[in-house]
Amino acid sequence: MKREIMRSANFAHDAAEYILQRARDTLATRETFRIALSGGNTPRPVYEEMAKAGAAMRWDRWLVTFGDERCVPPDDAQSNFRMARESLLAPAGVADQAVLRMRGEIDPPHAAHEYEERLDLIAAENDEAIYRHDLLLLGLGDDGHTASLFPESTALSEGERRVVANFSPSMQNWRITFTYPLINAAREVCFLVNNRKHADLVERVLAGDTRYPAARVQPGDGQITWILGT
Ligand code: 6PG
Protein backbone atom coordinates (compact mmCIF):
# COMPACT_ATOMS: atom_id res chain seq x y z
CA MET A 1 0.00 0.00 0.00
CA LYS A 2 1.37 3.36 -1.09
CA ARG A 3 0.62 6.51 0.91
CA GLU A 4 0.79 10.16 -0.16
CA ILE A 5 0.08 13.20 2.00
CA MET A 6 -0.69 16.57 0.41
CA ARG A 7 -1.10 19.69 2.53
CA SER A 8 -2.88 22.59 0.88
CA ALA A 9 -3.69 26.19 1.75
CA ASN A 10 -6.05 26.17 -1.26
CA PHE A 11 -7.88 23.01 -0.29
CA ALA A 12 -11.00 23.11 -2.48
CA HIS A 13 -9.06 24.04 -5.63
CA ASP A 14 -6.20 21.60 -5.09
CA ALA A 15 -8.45 18.70 -4.10
CA ALA A 16 -10.71 19.33 -7.09
CA GLU A 17 -7.74 19.42 -9.47
CA TYR A 18 -6.35 16.23 -7.96
CA ILE A 19 -9.62 14.36 -8.42
CA LEU A 20 -10.14 15.62 -11.99
CA GLN A 21 -6.59 14.62 -12.88
CA ARG A 22 -7.15 11.13 -11.47
CA ALA A 23 -10.23 10.91 -13.68
CA ARG A 24 -8.23 11.95 -16.75
CA ASP A 25 -5.51 9.44 -15.94
CA THR A 26 -8.04 6.64 -15.51
CA LEU A 27 -10.01 7.50 -18.66
CA ALA A 28 -6.78 7.43 -20.67
CA THR A 29 -6.71 3.65 -20.21
CA ARG A 30 -10.19 2.60 -19.07
CA GLU A 31 -13.69 3.19 -20.37
CA THR A 32 -15.22 4.31 -17.08
CA PHE A 33 -14.03 6.31 -14.07
CA ARG A 34 -15.53 4.78 -10.96
CA ILE A 35 -15.60 7.28 -8.14
CA ALA A 36 -17.25 7.07 -4.70
CA LEU A 37 -18.22 10.44 -3.24
CA SER A 38 -17.90 11.18 0.47
CA GLY A 39 -20.53 13.04 2.43
CA GLY A 40 -20.69 15.60 5.19
CA ASN A 41 -19.65 19.24 4.78
CA THR A 42 -15.96 19.15 3.85
CA PRO A 43 -16.39 17.90 0.26
CA ARG A 44 -19.01 20.48 -0.82
CA PRO A 45 -16.55 23.24 -1.88
CA VAL A 46 -14.36 20.62 -3.55
CA TYR A 47 -17.32 19.33 -5.58
CA GLU A 48 -18.27 22.90 -6.52
CA GLU A 49 -14.74 23.51 -7.78
CA MET A 50 -14.83 20.25 -9.74
CA ALA A 51 -18.02 21.29 -11.50
CA LYS A 52 -16.50 24.68 -12.37
CA ALA A 53 -13.12 23.31 -13.52
CA GLY A 54 -14.44 20.24 -15.30
CA ALA A 55 -15.94 21.81 -18.41
CA ALA A 56 -13.89 19.52 -20.67
CA MET A 57 -14.33 16.44 -18.48
CA ARG A 58 -16.01 13.39 -20.00
CA TRP A 59 -18.63 13.23 -17.24
CA ASP A 60 -20.53 10.75 -19.40
CA ARG A 61 -17.81 8.20 -18.62
CA TRP A 62 -18.08 8.59 -14.84
CA LEU A 63 -19.88 6.09 -12.62
CA VAL A 64 -20.67 7.74 -9.30
CA THR A 65 -21.33 5.87 -6.06
CA PHE A 66 -21.58 7.04 -2.44
CA GLY A 67 -19.44 5.77 0.44
CA ASP A 68 -22.37 6.19 2.80
CA GLU A 69 -25.75 7.80 3.16
CA ARG A 70 -27.96 9.01 5.95
CA CYS A 71 -31.32 7.28 6.25
CA VAL A 72 -33.32 10.20 4.94
CA PRO A 73 -35.08 11.01 1.65
CA PRO A 74 -32.92 12.35 -1.21
CA ASP A 75 -34.30 15.88 -0.86
CA ASP A 76 -33.57 16.04 2.89
CA ALA A 77 -30.99 18.65 3.98
CA GLN A 78 -29.04 15.83 5.63
CA SER A 79 -28.81 13.74 2.45
CA ASN A 80 -25.30 13.18 1.06
CA PHE A 81 -26.88 12.61 -2.34
CA ARG A 82 -28.60 16.00 -2.18
CA MET A 83 -25.33 17.71 -1.25
CA ALA A 84 -23.53 16.02 -4.18
CA ARG A 85 -26.38 16.75 -6.61
CA GLU A 86 -26.40 20.46 -5.68
CA SER A 87 -22.62 20.96 -5.67
CA LEU A 88 -21.44 18.64 -8.45
CA LEU A 89 -23.86 16.34 -10.26
CA ALA A 90 -26.36 18.93 -11.46
CA PRO A 91 -23.87 21.75 -12.25
CA ALA A 92 -21.58 19.30 -14.11
CA GLY A 93 -24.48 17.70 -15.94
CA VAL A 94 -23.75 14.17 -14.73
CA ALA A 95 -26.58 12.03 -16.08
CA ASP A 96 -28.87 10.28 -13.59
CA GLN A 97 -27.98 6.87 -15.05
CA ALA A 98 -24.32 7.50 -14.14
CA VAL A 99 -25.20 7.93 -10.47
CA LEU A 100 -25.95 5.01 -8.14
CA ARG A 101 -27.93 6.53 -5.28
CA MET A 102 -28.28 4.77 -1.94
CA ARG A 103 -32.01 4.83 -1.14
CA GLY A 104 -31.90 6.35 2.34
CA GLU A 105 -35.66 6.67 2.34
CA ILE A 106 -36.36 2.92 2.58
CA ASP A 107 -35.66 0.26 5.21
CA PRO A 108 -31.88 0.50 5.87
CA PRO A 109 -30.99 -3.22 5.56
CA HIS A 110 -33.07 -3.44 2.37
CA ALA A 111 -31.35 -0.35 0.96
CA ALA A 112 -27.92 -1.78 1.81
CA HIS A 113 -28.67 -5.14 0.19
CA GLU A 114 -30.09 -3.43 -2.89
CA TYR A 115 -26.97 -1.27 -3.28
CA GLU A 116 -24.62 -4.17 -2.67
CA GLU A 117 -26.40 -6.21 -5.36
CA ARG A 118 -26.03 -3.37 -7.87
CA LEU A 119 -22.27 -3.18 -7.23
CA ASP A 120 -21.92 -6.97 -7.28
CA LEU A 121 -23.68 -7.13 -10.66
CA ILE A 122 -21.29 -4.58 -12.19
CA ALA A 123 -18.32 -6.44 -10.68
CA ALA A 124 -19.57 -9.75 -12.10
CA GLU A 125 -20.11 -8.19 -15.54
CA ASN A 126 -16.43 -7.15 -15.42
CA ASP A 127 -15.15 -10.48 -14.05
CA GLU A 128 -14.17 -8.82 -10.77
CA ALA A 129 -14.43 -10.65 -7.44
CA ILE A 130 -15.51 -7.37 -5.85
CA TYR A 131 -16.36 -3.94 -7.23
CA ARG A 132 -13.19 -1.87 -7.49
CA HIS A 133 -13.42 1.90 -7.27
CA ASP A 134 -10.79 3.87 -9.16
CA LEU A 135 -11.03 6.63 -6.56
CA LEU A 136 -12.92 6.35 -3.28
CA LEU A 137 -13.30 9.62 -1.37
CA LEU A 138 -13.59 9.55 2.41
CA GLY A 139 -13.92 12.08 5.20
CA LEU A 140 -12.85 11.97 8.83
CA GLY A 141 -15.21 12.55 11.71
CA ASP A 142 -14.30 14.00 15.11
CA ASP A 143 -14.33 10.49 16.60
CA GLY A 144 -12.17 9.05 13.83
CA HIS A 145 -15.06 7.55 11.88
CA THR A 146 -15.02 7.42 8.13
CA ALA A 147 -17.92 6.77 5.78
CA SER A 148 -20.43 5.57 8.39
CA LEU A 149 -17.99 3.23 10.12
CA PHE A 150 -18.37 4.59 13.63
CA PRO A 151 -16.44 3.53 16.76
CA GLU A 152 -18.14 0.62 18.55
CA SER A 153 -20.52 -0.02 15.65
CA THR A 154 -21.19 -3.50 14.29
CA ALA A 155 -20.06 -2.69 10.75
CA LEU A 156 -16.45 -2.41 11.95
CA SER A 157 -16.24 -6.20 12.20
CA GLU A 158 -17.93 -6.91 8.84
CA GLY A 159 -15.42 -8.88 6.78
CA GLU A 160 -17.61 -10.16 3.91
CA ARG A 161 -20.48 -7.82 3.05
CA ARG A 162 -19.69 -4.85 0.84
CA VAL A 163 -22.51 -2.52 1.93
CA VAL A 164 -24.43 -2.68 5.21
CA ALA A 165 -26.88 -0.80 7.38
CA ASN A 166 -25.05 0.40 10.49
CA PHE A 167 -26.40 1.91 13.70
CA SER A 168 -24.28 4.75 15.05
CA PRO A 169 -24.11 4.60 18.87
CA SER A 170 -22.84 8.20 19.01
CA MET A 171 -25.46 9.64 16.67
CA GLN A 172 -28.22 7.24 17.69
CA ASN A 173 -29.31 6.81 14.07
CA TRP A 174 -29.03 4.38 11.16
CA ARG A 175 -26.77 4.82 8.19
CA ILE A 176 -25.97 2.87 5.01
CA THR A 177 -22.24 2.42 4.53
CA PHE A 178 -19.46 0.79 2.56
CA THR A 179 -17.57 -1.76 4.61
CA TYR A 180 -13.81 -2.25 4.88
CA PRO A 181 -13.80 -5.06 2.26
CA LEU A 182 -15.30 -2.72 -0.33
CA ILE A 183 -13.23 0.32 0.69
CA ASN A 184 -9.99 -1.66 0.79
CA ALA A 185 -10.66 -3.08 -2.69
CA ALA A 186 -10.29 0.42 -4.19
CA ARG A 187 -7.40 1.27 -6.47
CA GLU A 188 -7.06 4.53 -4.55
CA VAL A 189 -8.65 5.92 -1.40
CA CYS A 190 -8.47 9.69 -0.91
CA PHE A 191 -9.22 11.31 2.45
CA LEU A 192 -10.42 14.91 2.18
CA VAL A 193 -9.84 16.52 5.58
CA ASN A 194 -9.93 20.03 6.98
CA ASN A 195 -6.73 19.68 8.98
CA ARG A 196 -7.37 22.83 10.98
CA LYS A 197 -10.12 20.88 12.71
CA HIS A 198 -8.42 17.53 13.00
CA ALA A 199 -4.63 17.99 13.07
CA ASP A 200 -3.96 15.82 16.15
CA LEU A 201 -6.54 13.20 15.14
CA VAL A 202 -5.00 12.95 11.65
CA GLU A 203 -1.58 12.32 13.18
CA ARG A 204 -2.98 9.49 15.32
CA VAL A 205 -4.80 7.95 12.37
CA LEU A 206 -1.68 8.23 10.20
CA ALA A 207 0.26 6.53 13.00
CA GLY A 208 -2.12 3.58 12.65
CA ASP A 209 -4.07 3.96 15.89
CA THR A 210 -6.89 1.53 15.16
CA ARG A 211 -9.02 2.94 17.97
CA TYR A 212 -10.09 5.18 15.11
CA PRO A 213 -12.01 3.42 12.30
CA ALA A 214 -10.29 5.56 9.64
CA ALA A 215 -6.97 3.96 10.58
CA ARG A 216 -8.26 0.59 9.42
CA VAL A 217 -8.64 1.77 5.83
CA GLN A 218 -5.78 -0.06 4.15
CA PRO A 219 -6.35 -0.73 0.44
CA GLY A 220 -4.26 -3.87 -0.09
CA ASP A 221 -2.72 -3.18 -3.47
CA GLY A 222 -4.02 0.37 -3.73
CA GLN A 223 -2.93 3.83 -2.69
CA ILE A 224 -4.05 6.06 0.17
CA THR A 225 -3.89 9.78 -0.46
CA TRP A 226 -4.54 12.38 2.24
CA ILE A 227 -5.40 15.88 1.09
CA LEU A 228 -5.25 18.09 4.18
CA GLY A 229 -6.59 21.60 4.18
CA THR A 230 -4.21 23.74 6.27
C1 6PG B 1 -21.20 11.58 6.51
C2 6PG B 1 -19.82 11.26 6.02
C3 6PG B 1 -18.89 11.23 7.17
C4 6PG B 1 -18.10 12.52 7.05
C5 6PG B 1 -17.38 12.86 8.33
C6 6PG B 1 -16.77 14.26 8.23
O7 6PG B 1 -22.17 11.05 5.95
O8 6PG B 1 -21.27 12.43 7.41
O9 6PG B 1 -19.70 10.32 5.17
O10 6PG B 1 -18.01 10.14 7.21
O11 6PG B 1 -17.17 12.38 5.98
O12 6PG B 1 -18.34 12.83 9.37
O13 6PG B 1 -17.82 15.17 8.07
P14 6PG B 1 -17.53 16.75 7.81
O15 6PG B 1 -16.89 16.82 6.46
O16 6PG B 1 -18.88 17.37 7.85
O17 6PG B 1 -16.61 17.18 8.91
Q: End-to-end CA distance of the chain, in Å?
A: 25
Using the atom order of ligand 1, give the atom closest to the CA of residue 149. Answer: 10
Q: Is 213 in the pocket of ligand 1 (CB under 6 A)?
A: no
* pLDDT (tens digit per residue) in 211-221: 999 999 999 88
The pLDDT confidence band at residue 222, using thresholds 50, 70 and 90, is very high
Does 197 have pLDDT greater than 80?
no
DSSP 117-180: HHHHHHHHHTT-SS---SEEEE---TTS-BTTB-TT-GGGG-SS-SEEEEEETTTTEEEEEE-H
CB 40 near ligand 1, within 6 Å: yes
201 within 8 A of 213, measured Cβ to Cβ: no
Confidence of residue 1 (pLDDT cuts 50, 70, 90): confident
Residue 100: pLDDT band (50, 70, 90) is: very high
CA 186 – ligand 1 centroid, Å: 19
Say yes or no: CB of residue 172 within 6 Å of ligand 1: no
- 39 Cβ inside 6 Å of ligand 1: yes
Q: How far is the CA of 103 from the centre of ligand 1 (A)?
A: 18
pTM, to two decimals: 0.98
